[in-house]
Amino acid sequence: QVQLVESGGGLVQAGDSLRLSCAASRRPFSSAAMGWFRQSPGKEREFVAAINWNGAITNYASSVRGRFTISSDNAKNTVYLQMNSLKPEDTAVYYCATGAYFLSMNNVDYPVWGQGTQVTVSL
C-alpha cells in the first residue's frame, strides 16, 4: 500500500507563508485524487484542498480559497500545499490523503492517510 509522508509544518506568525509537502512512496492509484485535510483540537477533521491525478483540476474549501494553492509533481510523486496569508484559525495538524476517485471533500472517501504535520500560526 502506498505510504504518505507530510513535511513543512512549523510555527509562523499571522500573515506568513508555509509550503507543505506530501511525498508518496509510489504513484498512488492511477486515477486517484490527492487531498489535504486539517484538524484542530476538539474539532472534526475538515477538508482543505484536493487535486486530481494529473493536476488539472483542483477544489478548495471556502475558508482557504484565494490563500492556499494545491499542486502536484507527478515525477516526484509529491503534492504541495502553498499556504499564504496565514491566520491563527489555520492552526491545525495538516494531513494529506489519497485514494479518492474524485475531488471529494469528505474524508471517508480517502482510504490512505499520512501521519500529519503541525502548523501553528501566532498573532
Per residue in 71-96, pLDDT (tens digit) is 999 889 999 999 999 999 999 999 99
Report whether 113 contacts 85 (CB < 8 A): no
**Whole-angstrom distance, CA of residue 46 vs CA of residue 72:** 21
- pLDDT score recorded for residue 30: 62
**From its phi and psi, is residue 9 left (phi > 0), alpha (psi between -120 and 50) or beta?**
beta
Report whether 102 contacts 110 (CB < 8 A): no
Strands 92-100 and 117-122, by their bridges, are antiparallel
